[in-house]
Each structure stands twice: as C-alpha cells, then as structure tokens.
A and B are shown apart, each in its own frame.
Chain A
Amino acid sequence: MKQDEALTIRASGEMAVTVEFEAEISLRVNRKVAALKHVLEQMQIKGITELTPAYRSLTVHYDPEMIRYGDLTEQLLKAAGKMDEEELPEQTVLEIPVLYGGEWGPDLVEVARHEHMEPEEVIKKHSSNECYVYMIGFSPGNAYIGNPEKTFTVPRRKTPRVKIPQGAVTIWESQTTIFPMEQPGGWNVIGRTPFRMFDLKREPAFLLKAGQWVKFRPVSEKEYGQIEKQLMEGTFQYRIWKKGERP
C-alpha cells in the first residue's frame, strides 16, 4: 500500500493495483477518477493493459513482464501530479426516453408511497435533472447513474426479482440503472426505455460511458412505440448536448 495526500495505491494481486480517492460517492471524487484515467490514457505507460473506473477508485491492470509494481506505482504518482494540468474531455448529456409506470414500471406506485409522493411527482423528480454516469459494472453495459440531488430514499426490494426485462429503468435511493439484458435484480422497476444499453450490432456497442451525463424524458406509450420503430429502422436521432448547454 502506498499513500500520497491525494490518493492510496493498493495492490490487487501481481497484475493490478487499485488507486483510491476519498471514500465517498460524489461527483467531486468521481471526477478525480475520470481525470486520472484520462491522464493515464494520454501517458500511454508501457505495460498498462486496462483501466476499470469505479465510484471513487480506478483499477489499473498491468503486465508484470513489462512493468513491475515499484515502477508502476511511481508512474501512477507522477500521473496523479498531472491531474490538475490536463483538461478533461467535454462532458456530454444523452436524453433517454422512459415510459414510466404501468405494466413496465410495476414498482412506481410502491416507490411513490415510500416517498410520500404521487406517482406523477416521482416521474417528474426522476426526469428533471441531468444525471451522472458514475461507472459501469455487474454486466455488460450496466450503468450506475446518480442524480446529483438527493431525490429518493427508497431502499432495494426485500426480495430481488429473478427476471427483470432488458430496458427496465430501476432505482435505489438517488441512483438509477437501466437493464442491458434480462437479469435478476433487487432495484425498484419504475419504467422502461426503448434504448439498448448494449448492442453488438451497433457502433459503438455500449450506449453509455462512465463520466458522461444522461437526462431522462417521460414518453407516452405511443411515442415509445415510435422510437422503438425508428431504432429498428436505423432512423432514430439520439439527442445529445454538451453539459451546461441544454437545448
């Protein structure tokens, strides 16, 4: 374990280290993770094979045949020193249409009851701010999306569901995940999006990347169908804007 005032480097076996920043889930700390990842991508250190960002840490995978632990940690501290100088790439926002409630959002009513709100208020609150993609994990394309404002306090369901369909929009407190494929889960299902988080036939295959933003927009069943059709035909235009320049 190596410690700097800014970060801690911990060995994760002989082929990876985890670089940790402060122990909190916040936009401020996660931007440090994004910054370190960006600097390392620019530096192209020989022997680093892969970077896995998480909420407050970056796991750096490397090949000990090309770089040893001692040299690697030195390079990482050097990289950390450059974090303030390097300009991060522009942050973008992607609009995600959501059909809330009904058949596809079976937990919306229960969430509303827990929050002492009407279901309409839950929808409004969930879709009013731009939300931040902290990381992707659990399964291919499974994004953990946080609302910078504390929106809800609802816990995970006591009994997880065995099957939640692809496209399900689910929440746990202020966080949202969208199911990239049918899989089990304990989060509260409040709606569904026609967007595919992961599609090998599409370029890029992954819709979201850690460090970007999304904005949910409620749509009617009719519009949902139209979007789905356009996506299938390849005519759908994704709405993307620069952070801070919301149209």
Chain B
Amino acid sequence: MSIEIINGGLLTTVQDGGRYGYQQYGVMVSGAMDYRSMALANILAGNDETEAVLEMTLLGVTIRFGETCVFAATGADMQPELNGRRISMYQAVRAEKGDILSFSGIKDTGCRTYLAFAGGMDIPVVMGSKSTLLRAGLGGYKGRSLKAGDKIKLLAPGREPENLSFRKLAKESLSGGEVALRVVMGPQEDRFTQAGIATFLSSVYEVGSENDRMGYRLEGPLIEHKKDGNIITDGIVFGSIQVPSGGKPIIMMADRQCTGGYTKIGTVIRPDLPFLAQCKTKNRIQFQKISVEEAQEAYIAWKQEFKNIRKKLDCPMEVAEIKNYSIHVSGKVFQVEVKEYAKNQT
C-alpha cells in the first residue's frame, strides 16, 4: 500500500500547488518551486495539476514500491532507473510491487525534479495543503524532508491513467545557464532612480550562492535607490524582487515570508518563475519589462497550455476512418471493423 524511501536524496519534500488563504496569519505559501514541472508530472500521471508530488533537489531519491503504481518524473534530468534500467523522464511508467526506482545526480541543466504518483500520496492536508513548510516544521511528511525508512501511503495504488503507453512529453528545455525573466515593474518602482531602473533592466545578473526555496540572491550591478531600500513592511508575492539598501536584488520564492520591509522594484511573472526555480548558482539572468495586461495574457495562455496538454494525453488518437469488411473463410463469415487513426500533432 505504500512506497518506502530507501535514500532520501539531498532535499526531498512533499509539495503541491501551495497553502493559500493563511498569509494574513503569517503562514508562508510554500508549494512547488517549479509549478510547470509539478503540473506536467501530475498530468502525465493522470492527476489534478496541483496534486502533491515529491520535489527533489540536485540529488534524487531511491524508493521501493510496495504496490503496483504508475509514476512520472519531470524537471531536471536526474537519470531515473527502474530496477537498474534507465527510463525516460517526462513519461508515465508503471512499476510493479517490489520495483526499485532510483534517481541520481543531474545530467545537463536544472536543479529540481518532480515525481508524481497516479492517484496521489496519502499526506495529511494541513490548512488546505499537503506542502511542506520546513521553517515551521509544518505540513508534508511530518513537516520535514524525506529520509531513509520513511513510508508514504498511496491513495490509489494500481490506478492507471488513460492511454498509458502514450503518456509522454518532449523533454523540456530548462535554464541552460542564461534565462530572460519577464517582470511587471513595481510596486515600489518609484523608489528607484532612472539610472537604477536602467541598470536593473539592462544588466546581466548572476544567481548567487545563497539560493533556496525562500529566495534567490543575485550578484551584479548595484541598483540605485532615490533614498534607501526600506519601506513600511507590506505584502510579498511569489517572484517579488526585493532590493535592500545595498542594491543587490533578492527574488522571493515558494517559502518566502508573506510580508517584508524592503523596496520591490518588480515582480517576475508566474509563467517565468519555473525557469528561475531551475537555476543554479552562477546561472545568468536578465530582466525584461512587460505591462500588467501583457503579463495577464501570458499567465492565461500558460495555464491554458496545461489543459491542452492534458487533453492531448487523454485522447492521443483521433479515428480518421472506419471500414467494415465481411470476410468469408471456409464457409464462415467474419465481420471485421478496421479503424484508421490519425496521430495528433505533437
């Protein structure tokens, strides 16, 4: 009925779409750092987009299946093997009872890998979410990252999504060292000089060594304030770019505090946050200004794409033509129906 963790990897936590509704009480939202990879893993496994998954960082887990289970891994390529045989990322795969799934280090780019199980994991819902908030020891699997010996029950072992053999997607291109992030300027854009804003929009920044689920500190040209980087504490969102008086930006990520007292020059838009979430130390970043309206168009298109992908995976084939034949073989008549499929464009 469960999966057993044989090796917990470097930092593996249970995450879902996030814990919304409690920011007024100071509860950080958490949730997957890379929403897109989480959503795609879930869609491949036939789950809701925001079902809880395992988020693995840099080094993945080894697990033993106690039951037949369909799973899918997305995000950074951690070279998964099932019973020692290499299997593909971005594909729904069935494991049998006793099978061992192991991930190792990352090949190519990215730093986070997502593992979804068809039907989901039996993790208690705390304040509306299964996400782990490490800093408060809250939610997820006992409020902490996974380690050897942990056992997680599956909600629907053996469940198989439609068209299992067709449930695969092209490998995504993750941050390959340099990403362009679209930003909506503000809320405190007016606390910076013209020169400061020009610096921000025209420079290349590098991901500093302090980068985690809370935030990414960037290295690069200092952004000039009119006065300083302090404000009367106000609300922070996923992607807020804080610039304290020192002039170096910090981008607030999944485990961010709900409020903060530094000037925010802009906000990275949601569709671009997955690229940042896959960035490692020394990856390069450039910012590109867009309007709120453009950002909302981009967001809506981004969300629509998940729906399209699901549709394509759920019914990958369209019947182009049906032909009926009567075949006479040694005095007997066989009615044969032949369906011709047109494979959907991928």
Co-assembled chains A and B: yes
| B-binding residues in A (CB < 8 A) | 1, 10-18, 20, 23-25, 49-59, 61, 64-65, 68-70, 135-142, 180-181, 183, 198, 200, 205-206, 209-210
Asked if B66 is at the interface of the complex by the 8 Å CB criterion, the answer is no
**Contact yes or no, B25 A13, CB < 8 A:** no
CA distance A199 to B213 in the complex (A): 24
Tell whether, in the assembled complex, residue A50 and residue B23 are in contact, meaning their CB atoms are under 8 Å apart.
Answer: yes
B43 beta carbon closer than 8 Å to chain A:
no
Given A139-B26, A140-B138, also A11-B184 (CB < 8 A): yes
Q: Are B186 and A59 in contact (CB under 8 A)?
A: no
Residues from chain A with a CB closer than 8 A to the CB of B240 are 12-13
- CA gap between A190 and B303 in the complex, in Å: 50
Q: Given A14-B295, A18-B235, A64-B300, do A138 and B26 touch, yes or no (CB 8 Å)?
A: yes
Asked whether B292 is an interface residue with its Cβ less than 8 Å from the other chain, the reply is yes
Q: Contact: A53 with B24, CB < 8 Å? A: yes
In angstroms, Cα B127 to Cα A53, docked, is 19
Chain B residue, CB-CB nearest to A136? B26
Interface residues, chain B, with chain A CB atoms under 8 Å away = 20-28, 126-127, 135-138, 184-190, 232-240, 257-260, 264, 267-270, 292-293, 295-296, 298-300, 303
Q: A52 with B235: in contact, given A13-B267, A136-B26, A138-B259 (CB under 8 Å)? A: yes
Residue in A closest to B231 when the chains form the complex, CB atoms:
A23
Chain A residue numbers with a CB within 8 Å of B190 are: 1
**In the complex, what residues of A have CB within 8 A of residue B295's CB?**
13-14
**Residues of A contacting B27 with CB < 8 Å?**
140
Q: Which residues of B contact A13 (CB under 8 A)?
A: 184, 237-240, 267-270, 295
A68 touches B299 (CB 8 A): no
Please report the C-alpha to C-alpha distance between residue A209 and residue B23 in the assembled complex, in whole angstroms.
11
CB<8 Å pairs between A and B, sample of 7: A13-B184, A14-B270, A54-B235, A55-B232, A59-B234, A61-B237, A137-B258
Please report the C-alpha to C-alpha distance between residue A65 and residue B306 in the assembled complex, in whole angstroms.
Answer: 14
Chain B positions within 8 Å of A65 at CB level = 299-300, 303
Q: Check if A137 sits within 8 Å of B300, measured CB to CB.
A: no
Across-interface contacts of B259 in A (CB, < 8 A) = 52, 54, 135, 137-138
Which 3 residue pairs across A and B have the least CB separation, nearest first?
A59-B235, A13-B267, A10-B187
**A-B contact count, CB below 8 Å?**
141
Look across to chain A and name the residue whose beta carbon is closest to the beta carbon of B20: A50
Contact between A136 and B24 (Cβ–Cβ < 8 Å)? yes
A239, B137: Cα distance in complex, Å = 30
Task: Give A174 to B103 CA distance when docked, in angstroms.
Answer: 53
Of B136, B189, B269, B298, most buried by chain A (CB within 10 Å of CB) is B136
Cross-chain contact B22 with A140 (CB below 8 angstroms): yes
CB neighbours of A68 from chain B (8 A): 293, 296
A54 to B237 Cα, complex, angstroms: 13
The answer to whether A50 touches B21 (Cβ under 8 A) is yes
Select which of A11, A16, A23, A209 is within 8 A of B232 by beta carbon.
Answer: A23
- Candidates A11, A51, A55; contact of B233 at CB < 8 Å: A55
For the A-B complex with A16-B237, A55-B233 known, give 19 more contacts whose Cβ atoms are closer than 8 Å: A1-B189, A10-B187, A11-B292, A12-B240, A13-B184, A13-B240, A14-B184, A14-B270, A16-B235, A18-B235, A50-B24, A58-B235, A59-B234, A61-B237, A135-B233, A136-B25, A138-B259, A139-B136, A205-B127
CB of A10 within 8 A of CB of B186, answer: yes
- Bound CA span A52–B186, Å: 17
List A contacts of B300 (CB < 8 A). 64-65
> Which of chain A's residues has its CB closest to B264's CB?
A12
**B24 and A210 contact, CB distance less than 8 A:** yes
Partner of B299, one of A10, A20, A64, A135: A64
In angstroms, Cα B267 to Cα A13, docked, is 5
Among A13, A23, A142, A205: residue with most chain B CB under 10 A:
A13
Q: B342: shortest Cβ distance to chain A, in Å? A: 32
Cβ–Cβ < 8 Å partners of A64 in chain B: 296, 299-300
Q: Report the separation of the CA atoms of residues A1 and B188 in the bound assembly, to the nearest whole angstrom.
A: 10
Which residues of B sit under 8 angstroms from A50, Cβ to Cβ?
20-21, 23-24
A206 touches B293 (CB 8 A): no
Tell me how far the C-beta of B273 lies from the nearest C-beta in chain A, rounded to whole angstroms.
10
CB pair A12–B20 under 8 Å, yes or no, is no
Q: Nearest Cβ distance between residue B78 and chain A, in whole angstroms?
A: 30
In contact, A11 and B22 (Cβ under 8 angstroms): no
Bound-state Cα–Cα, A10 to B23, Å? 19
A140 x B187 contact (CB < 8 A):
no
Neighbouring A residues of B298 by C-beta, 8 Å: 14
Which of B20, B137, B237, B296 contacts A59, CB < 8 Å?
B237
Contact of B269 among A14, A69, A200 (CB under 8 A): A14
Residues in A neighbouring B237, C-beta threshold 8 A: 12-13, 15-16, 59, 61
Task: Tell me how far the C-beta of A44 lies from the nearest C-beta in chain B, rounded to whole angstroms.
Answer: 14
Chain B contacts for A12, CB-based, 8 A: 184, 186-187, 235, 237, 240, 264, 267
Residues of chain B within 8 A (CB-CB) of A14 are 184, 267, 269-270, 292, 295-296, 298-299
